[in-house]
Structure 1
């Protein structure tokens, strides 16, 4: 009989489901009427595949450059954050400056955390970026018997 080593796994799944429902609710709001910033309604699409000896996590981060993306792995959870701020120039030649009627592209950020079903080899994780898509290869860690020892009672 197989037992789950993580007693909080069902709670994590519940939180992930609540996060998806909250993000879907944000997508239905009318941003112009409510005055909510556009970044609150954006969502990072992800796929997590089990390829036997590794997990492959694919995340959509369109409009971001590789240097705008931060990847972090902690406690079997992958954290993906993408931030971009509008670059400003100090040129004084006003003829070259664009006259915006409305500019909504100044700041943008996406963030997502994904819990992995089992531990991975942290030192062997690899990531690539191509055409607005980040792909992480996460080799699974070999499962071992719990460590410890038997303690005799005097």
Structure 2
């Protein structure tokens, strides 16, 4: 492949990645929070045969403020992000970092076993590993006589 074509493909790939980031940041659930308070962190959900994995981007959130709860097929992550105070600020030129309390409730793709849930928070990323509820095979149900 000639250098011009290679450069063109590289540019197209970069445009595709940037467009994907823009579209992800414009997700409807983040633009119009129906069940949330405050800002909403970006979240990725992955599924394997045995687990559901949830990753939340929480840069700057103090780990002690984080709360993760699971209720049925819903996972809720909440917490607080604050920047250190800057007493000598005279003018703000750009303001993009969302601060304050947040809550994000997600519908999980399958039922999970609450006993085996694990989570870690490192380098601004919260990872929650949720083992899927294992379906039992064929079960015979005893029928009791009615009146």
| Aligned equivalent of 1:43 | 40
Query: Structure 1: how far apart are the matches of 2:60 and 2:88?
Result: 22
Task: String of CA shifts for 1:28-59, please: whole Å, max 9, x gaps.
Answer: xxxxxxxxxxx85x431111111111111111
5 Å-filtered alignment, 1:58-97, equals: 58-84=55-81
Aligned runs of 1:67-146 on 2, under 5 Å? 67-84=64-81, 98-101=87-90, 108-144=100-136
Q: Is the 8 A contact 2:56 2:126 kept in 1?
A: yes
Contact kept? 1:49, 1:56, Cα under 8 Å: yes
Match of 1:151 in 2: 144
**Structure 2 length-normalised TM:** 0.61
Give yes or no for contact 2:53–2:129 (8 Å, CA) kept in 1.
yes
SS at match of 1:143: coil
Maintained 8 Å contact 2:62/2:80 = no
CA RMSD across the alignment? 3.3
After TM superposition, where is structure 1 displaced by more than 6 Å over at least 4 residues in a row?
A: none
Q: Which runs of 5+ in 1 are unaligned?
A: 1-19, 27-38, 89-96
Structure 2 unaligned blocks of 5 or more: 1-26
